[in-house]
Amino acid sequence: MEGTIVNVQKYSVHDGPGIRTTIFFKGCPLKCWWCHNPESISLKEEIMSCEDKCTNCGRCIKICREEAIKLKDGNPFVELEKCKSCGRCAEFCISDAKEHVGRKVHVDELIVQIKKDIPFYEESGGGVTFSGGEPLMQGEFLNEVLKRCKKIHINTTLDTCGYSDWEKIDKIHDKVDLFLYDLKIFDEKKHIKYTGVSNKLILENLKKLSSLGKNIYVRMPIIKGINDDREHVDNCVEFLSELNILQVNLLPYHKLGMNKYNKLAKEYKLTGEEKPSDSEMREIAEKFRTAGIKVKIGG
């Protein structure tokens, strides 16, 4: 069985316990304004264009069989509706100005890569983390890789936005040792505005996982002017204090993914100035601590 991934990151230390191999799946049902991995949102393979590296040699225009690359303001521009994501332009660009994002991978190939890092997992108490994008978008593939990991006793972590039919989660939760579960915005209308979907399913699924006694770290991105207000924080503290979770991780907004939007011809809707101050982060953390919830600033 095959799935589509963006990449496999080795020796990761922020995606669960110990040293981990993190597999970034392609495809996500949400479109968060602050997403720093916009290349993982579409399930389709894509081309990222870096104007700074382009020498305007014109090779990509000639090489594209779909005639999907045209000159726009003197620069080669990919017309997404015509592009078939074949990757030829990236392959033939000698300036690395085009990058082919996403590739199909077979479960067997992933397991071979994962097995190579077993000594690191054993040494550090690490394992494999499934991230993205949203791994549950490719539920069957995820289930298959998880099954194979558990067969060889590898620790597994699932980084998820929680927006999925319960049936998919129900199929895999017994093979996941730790959930990194995103809680982005508590108010439903605001959630729809900033992520494109309702949060009802996300909150329900979190409650269900909690009632099953699963190991859960809740991850909350904190974005100034969007979800750092008192009312939002209080609502989250109240909701989470009723659940059975191990820890909350507060993740201050950063603008590291901002320039990828340009490369993908996508609009970045924030200003890049939405990072909360250290003192704001400490104040928010204190609210969780006061409610008896273990909290950490950062991943």
**Residue with Cβ nearer ligand SF4 (83 or 258):** 83
> In the set 30, 64, 110, 245, which binds ligand SF4 (CB under 6 A)?
64
> In the complex, what is the shortest distance from the CB of residue 3 to ligand SF4, in angstroms, rounded to a whole number?
20
One character per residue 81-100, x = contact with ligand SF4 (rule: CB under 6 A): --xxxxxxx---x-x-xx--
**Residue with Cβ nearer ligand SF4 (191 or 263):** 263
One character per residue 156-195, x = contact with ligand SF4 (rule: CB under 6 A): ----------------------------------------
Concatenated DSSP letters of the chain: -EEEEEEEEEEESSSSSSSEEEEEES--S---TT-S-GGGTSSS-EEEE-GGG-----HHHHH-TT--EEEETTEEEE-TTT-----HHHHH-TTS-EEEE-EEEEHHHHHHHHHHTHHHHHHHT-EEEEESS-GGGGHHHHHHHHHHHHHTT--EEEEE---S-HHHHHHHGGG-SEEEEE---SSHHHHHHHHSS-SHHHHHHHHHHHHTT--EEEEEEE-TTTT-SHHHHHHHHHHHHTS--SEEEEEE---TTHHHHHHTT----S-S--PPPHHHHHHHHHHHHHTT--EEE--
Is 48 a residue that touches ligand SF4 (CB under 6 A)?
Answer: no
Span from 60-68, 150-158, 181-189, 250-258 in contact with ligand SF4 (CB under 6 A):
60-68
Cis peptide leading into 139, omega within 30 of 0? Answer: no
Give the whole-angstrom CA distance, residue 156 versus residue 176: 5
Give the whole-angstrom CA distance, residue 90 versus residue 46: 10
Nearest 5°: CA angle at 107, between 104 and 112?
Answer: 110
> In the set 1, 56, 166, 193, which binds ligand SF4 (CB under 6 A)?
56
Is 78 a residue that touches ligand SF4 (CB under 6 A)?
Answer: yes
Is 54 a residue that touches ligand SF4 (CB under 6 A)?
Answer: yes
**Residue with Cβ nearer ligand SF4 (68 or 180):** 68
Size of the site for ligand SF4 (CB under 6 A): 26
**Residue with Cβ nearer ligand SF4 (44 or 173):** 44
Is 60 a residue that touches ligand SF4 (CB under 6 A)?
Answer: yes
**Residue with Cβ nearer ligand SF4 (75 or 271):** 75
> In the complex, what is the shortest distance from the CB of residue 77 to ligand SF4, in angstroms, rounded to a whole number?
10
Span from 53-61, 158-166, 167-175, 259-267 in contact with ligand SF4 (CB under 6 A):
53-61
Is 68 a residue that touches ligand SF4 (CB under 6 A)?
Answer: yes
Is 69 a residue that touches ligand SF4 (CB under 6 A)?
Answer: yes
Q: Which residues contact 147 (CB under 8 A, 6 or more apart)?
A: 175
Straight-line distance from the first to the last Cα atom of the chain, in angstroms, rounded to the nearest whole number: 32
Tokens read off for 293: 């919830």
**Residue with Cβ nearer ligand SF4 (58 or 125):** 58
Is 142 a residue that touches ligand SF4 (CB under 6 A)?
Answer: no
> In the complex, what is the shortest distance from the CB of residue 266 to ligand SF4, in angstroms, rounded to a whole number?
16
Give the interface with ligand SF4 as residue ranges (CB under 6 A).
47, 54-60, 63-64, 66, 68-69, 76, 78, 83-89, 93, 95, 97-98
